[in-house]
Amino acid sequence: MNLDDYRTLFAATTLGLVLIVALPTVSMVVSIPSGAERFSELWVLGPTRIAEGYPFNVRVGEQYRLFVGVGNHLGCSAYYVVYVKFRNQTQPLPDALNAVPSPLPPLYEFQAFVLDSETWEAPLSFTFLNVSRLENSSFVSELSINDVVFSVNCPSKWDLENSGFYYQLFFELWLYDTSLQRFQYHNRFVGIWLNMTS
């Protein structure tokens, strides 16, 4: 071997050792994609904090209890809003295909800052306060959510196929977008159907 060969071997060996020594430090600065899917969860549980026992046949003046939850799997902390909305069978739900929220106004909201890989959960109680009926129509005018009374003015026609007056309490998940500096609909919603026949 001549002198140039030794220089090349020395330079290659030195470069290899520098890379091996620097790798732990570089990995703290450079984020290598893990391949894991990034997502958020939204759920509603029944009164015993499990996925059963949801209220369905509801009455005026009775209080019903649910639990609303969010799971963060985005790879970073996130600031969420969960909007609580109320509708009859004909009013629009969110459009999941186009990631557009329901145009119905929110009645109540929860705000939660959730760390990555953590969950948040809160109780929600609701009571129908003022409901009237006339022939084949039901009209909910007041609804209480967590002891706050809302004027909803929501009519429903008799459903011949399912024999009842049906409404839905549903929840939309919104996420704070730091670049836009506002909440954006996060294309997740869940809901429960309520039969106001009795």
Fold category of 39-195 in CATH: Immunoglobulin-like (2.60.40)
**Contact by Cβ (8 Å): 82, 70:** yes
Tokens of 189: 């919603």
Instruction: Output the pLDDT for position 36.
Output: 73
Report how far Cα 51 is from the mean position of its chain's Cα atoms.
16
> Where do the domains of the chain lie?
1-32, 39-195
**Rounded to an integer, what distance in angstroms lies between the CA atom of residue 155 and that of residue 194?**
13
130-142 confidence digits (pLDDT tens)? 999 998 999 999 9
Q: Taking 80 as the threshold, does the pLDDT of residue 158 lie above it? A: yes
What value does the CA radius of gyration of the chain take, rounded to a whole number of Å? 27
Query: For residue 70, what pLDDT is reported?
Result: 98
CB 152 within 8 A of CB 64: no
pLDDT for residue 57 is more than 70: yes
- pTM, 2 dp: 0.81
The pLDDT confidence band at residue 166, using thresholds 50, 70 and 90, is: very high
